[in-house]
């Protein structure tokens, strides 16, 4: 589990020997092999740790649901270590299981994102959403889009300030909302 409170941004170093590497030069956190790390909101497992980088393996399912396949060396990614039960939960309940990507329709500070029709029922105004691993609140909802308002601190601490129209971002919808939507769907099918 994660909270969506991004610790820092790290540069992507590229792929070598089927492992994707991220610099740890600006992140003096102890990472061990087996550690769960959210990278742009995707829960990944460290498979190699060196003083200057950590590496992960990424499967095709993860590439198909996220923007990690778009990364080129030098791109900044948002990172967060997993939380423990004793951690203060400042953000949202974030699993690191990205539901979809969305296209940037308008750049920050009022970040407007496309909303795929299959996920419309999971977004409510003032509800929780996670974008590239950042816990945010939906500030507006429209026909096939939603918006989040970004404060200067979020723009400074994350890669959301670098987004341009047409960029793809990872989206994880509210965990509780997903379970409620599923229960309602099952109930309506059972009782017609």
CA 103 – CA 9 distance, rounded (Å): 21
Across 106-121, average pLDDT = 92
Other CB atoms within 10 Å distance of the CB of residue 73: 11
User: 8-81 in CATH: which number?
Assistant: 2.40.30.20
pLDDT surpasses 90 at 155: yes
Q: Where are the domains of the chain?
A: 8-81, 100-191
CA 121 – CA 178 distance, rounded (Å): 9
Could you please state the CATH topology (level 3) that the domain comprising 100-191 is classified under.
Answer: Elongation Factor Tu (Ef-tu); domain 3 (2.40.30)
CA 34 – CA 109 distance, rounded (Å): 36
Tokens linked to 81: 């270590």
pLDDT reported for residue 83: 83
Across 148-170, average pLDDT = 96
Across 145-166, average pLDDT = 96
Across 157-164, average pLDDT = 96
pLDDT surpasses 70 at 151: yes
Record the pTM. 0.91
pLDDT band at 88 (very low <50, low <70, confident <90, very high): low
Same-fold call for 8-81 versus 100-191? yes
Q: What percent of the chain has pLDDT over 90?
A: 72
């Amino acid at each position: 589990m994660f909270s969506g409170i991004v610790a820092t941004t790290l540069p992507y170093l590229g792929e070598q020997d089927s492992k994707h590497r991220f610099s740890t030069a600006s992140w003096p956190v102890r990472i061990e092999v087996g550690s769960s790390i959210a990278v742009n909101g995707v829960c990944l497992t460290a498979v190699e740790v060196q003083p200057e980088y950590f590496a992960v393996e990424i499967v095709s399912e993860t590439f198909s649901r996220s923007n990690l396949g778009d990364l080129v060396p030098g791109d900044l990614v948002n990172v967060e270590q997993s939380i423990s039960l004793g951690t203060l939960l400042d953000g949202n309940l974030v699993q690191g299981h990205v539901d979809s990507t969305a296209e940037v329709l308008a750049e920050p500070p009022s970040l407007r994102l496309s909303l795929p029709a299959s996920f419309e029922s999971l977004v409510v105004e003032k509800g929780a959403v996670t974008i590239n691993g950042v816990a945010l609140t939906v500030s507006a909802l429209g026909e096939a889009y939603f918006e989040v308002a970004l404060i200067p601190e979020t723009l400074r601490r994350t890669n959301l300030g670098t987004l341009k129209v047409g960029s793809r971002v990872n989206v994880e919808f509210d965990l509780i909302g997903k379970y409620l939507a599923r229960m309602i769907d099952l109930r309506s099918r059972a009782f017609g």
